[in-house]
Amino acid sequence: MSEGTVLIIGAGPAGLEAARTAAQLGANVVLVEKRDRVGGTPDESNYAKLTHHFRDADEAIGELAEAATSHPHVQVLTNSQVVSVAGEAGDFRVGIQNGAGAKTVHAGAIIVATGFQHFDPGRETQYYNYYSFSDVITIADMEGMLKAHQVVRPSNGQPPERVAFIQCVGSRDRQIGNEYCSKVCCGIASKQAIEVKQQLPNSRVFIFYIDMRMYGYWENELYWPAQEQHHVNYVKGLVSEILAKDDRLLIRGEDTTMGRPMEVVMDLVVLSVGMEPSQGTRQVAEILGLEQNKYGYIQAGGPTHIDPVATSRPGIFVAGAAARPSDLDDTFATAGLAAARAVATLRQPVMA
């Protein structure tokens, strides 16, 4: 049983989940991926473990990829990019470019799953001396070290005694232009803090934050265990600057709940960089003519404002972090919903 084609752009967690679901619902799926392999940002950025039960990221995303790409109704086009779209819901003609040349795919509905990118802490200002001090890294850099079981100070290859995470780097900041909360970094930093303590039990780990936003089960699965079992120190107050002190790093800020200024030495500082719409999300939004919000994410909500996968263009849906900062729960939920809407569009184009 096949009732037409859903074209999905991006083969990260959102695109893979949407592909699997749409295929299971009976559609043909064409999954277009710019990179030479599926897996998206968790794969590209070497994620070590997921917040869900600390599952190995390669394994969990690998299972998802296998489920999606092995389905007989899913066709994967890697090294491929969408370059044009014409038509309307129920009858899109999508131009696709790859090394071999260009081709056109007929699709009844489109799902955009082009995701996010990590905020670059050197993009506008030299935020926290990220590009000057090798011992200032990001949570994305930390994932690679955790994955390799090599948590060290890049400057000398030695394990750090004192590690600081700084939250909200590139998020909740009017000056930067990203006023939104990136939603996942509190959980990621807490997860990484636990992993650092597991790999380096004698280290001291601090998290400097504005608010800890540990939604739902992250409270009992990450936040409390980090404090209670792993003795991670949470300090409310952001770091204003990082200075070199001998061969270590001196961080300055305010310990707000203790009501005093702080000046502490660290060996490794991890910037909890937030999410931004990926270049692919911005480009695809342009090509597809989708409305973007002021931050560059694809505007979701549709005419009712409450539909999380509707875009400004009927028949085109958005899943995952292309629309908003999203954790994996959000991503799978919106991917499944987008798949359902897309398949419904194939069956009743006028309802789109």
Residues that bind other proteins in the complex, under the rule CB under 8 A: 161-162, 204, 212, 223-224, 227-228, 231, 233-236, 255, 257-258, 260-265
Count of CA atoms in the C-beta half-sphere (13 A) of 341: 24
- In whole angstroms, the minimum distance from the beta carbon of 198 to other proteins comes to 17
- In whole angstroms, the minimum distance from the beta carbon of 94 to other proteins comes to 49
- In whole angstroms, the minimum distance from the beta carbon of 183 to other proteins comes to 18
Helix locations, 84-201, DSSP H: 139-147, 185-199
2 vs 256, beta carbon nearer other proteins: 256
Residue 278 one-letter amino acid: S
260 vs 305, beta carbon nearer other proteins: 260
To the nearest 10°, report the CA torsion of 169, 171, 174, 177: 100
244 vs 351, beta carbon nearer other proteins: 244
175 vs 202, beta carbon nearer other proteins: 202
50 vs 235, beta carbon nearer other proteins: 235
Token code pair at residue 250: 């001196």
- In whole angstroms, the minimum distance from the beta carbon of 333 to other proteins comes to 27
- In whole angstroms, the minimum distance from the beta carbon of 263 to other proteins comes to 6
Q: How wide is the angle at C-alpha 141 spanned by C-alphas 200 and 279, nearest 5°?
A: 160
Residues listed for the chain? 352
- In whole angstroms, the minimum distance from the beta carbon of 254 to other proteins comes to 8
Per-position DSSP letters for 261-279, written without gaps between them: EEEEEESEEEEEE-EEE-H
Contact 277/296 with Cβ under 8 angstroms? yes
B/e letters for 141-165, b = 16+ CB within 10 Å, e = fewer, are bbbebbbeeebbbeeeeebbebbbb
147 vs 236, beta carbon nearer other proteins: 236
